[in-house]
Chains A and B, each alone.
Chain A
Amino acid sequence: AAGVIQSPRHLIKEKRETATLKCYPIPRHDTVYWYQQGPGQDPQFLISFYEKMQSDKGSIPDRFSAQQFSDYHSELNMSSLELGDSALYFCASSPHGLAGTYNEQFFGPGTRLTVL
């Protein structure tokens, strides 16, 4: 079965550089979530998209932006990178359903970003 694809899997950047992380959801999944997991931390919700519109926003820095495209893939753009941005970035996708129903989030393998 197809899974969530994230690219690149590993990324090394210098401070103040920019980075773009990509996420390809499972086919027919129209909702994408981004999470950030710092070293030794739990994953923190950043932002989500439903049908190409931003649906929720968490603790995402202003230096970060994201969007979902017409083919439902999503990109997380990170500018002016800081050392503290070093983390594992997960994308998860889910199918949209009725409010209150169970929609499992399928996680991608993550992109490990290291900022030097």
Chain B
Amino acid sequence: AQKITQTQPGMFVQEKEAVTLDCTYDTSDQSYGLFWYKQPSSGEMIFLIYQGSYDEQNATEGRYSLNFQKARKSANLVISASQLGDSAMYFCAMREGQGGSEKLVFGKGTKLTVNP
């Protein structure tokens, strides 16, 4: 069963507007972590933001914020004031395992296009 679901294959946003990328997850663990990564066309995986399951505050990193709704098992990424350079694939991921191995399980990704 898919553990990370990103229902938006593609999203379009106008420059300087805000956009929300959806992510829902499925886990029975009490302790888990949720990540968002950006992958531009060049291919590298760029870490954006992290939310721990016990964190009471929504994570924020500059223009990125994570709308964490634990009861709904959702961890949506909000990008404020979009820039042309934000055009990329965005992956939501969940950390599985503990201790010596905490592999990441990724969603299928959302391709964001920022229009001028």
With an 8 A cutoff between CB atoms, is A25 at the interface? no
Known: A43-B91, A104-B47, A107-B47. Is A55-B107 also a contact (CB below 8 A)?
no
CA distance A102 to B49 in the complex (A): 12
B108 surroundings in chain A (CB, below 8 A): 41-42
Question: Which of B13-21, B73-81, B92-100 is near enough to bind chain A?
Answer: B92-100
Do residues A31 and B50 form an inter-chain contact, with CB atoms below 8 A? Answer: no
CA distance A16 to B14 in the complex (A): 47
Q: What's the interface size class on B, roughly?
A: 20 to 34
With an 8 A cutoff between CB atoms, is A78 at the interface? no
A42 touches which of B31, B33, B99, B107 (Cβ 8 Å): B107
- B37: nearest residue on chain A (CB-CB)? A107
Known: A42-B109, A43-B106, A100-B31. Is A31-B101 also a contact (CB below 8 A)?
yes
With an 8 A cutoff between CB atoms, is A58 at the interface? yes
Do residues A45 and B43 form an inter-chain contact, with CB atoms below 8 A? Answer: no
Chain A residues proximal to chain B, CB less than 8 Å: 31, 33, 35, 41-45, 48, 50-51, 53, 55-56, 58, 88, 90, 92, 94, 96, 99-100, 102-107, 109-110, 112
The 16 listed contacts between A and B (C-beta, < 8 Å) are: A33-B101, A43-B45, A44-B106, A45-B103, A48-B103, A50-B100, A55-B100, A55-B101, A56-B97, A56-B101, A90-B45, A94-B102, A96-B99, A105-B102, A107-B37, A109-B44
Q: A92-B104, A109-B43 are in contact. List 13 more A-B contacts (CB 8 A).
A: A35-B104, A42-B109, A43-B91, A43-B104, A45-B105, A51-B100, A56-B97, A56-B103, A90-B45, A104-B47, A105-B47, A107-B45, A110-B45
Chain B residues proximal to chain A, CB less than 8 Å: 31, 33, 37, 43-45, 47, 50, 52, 91, 97-109
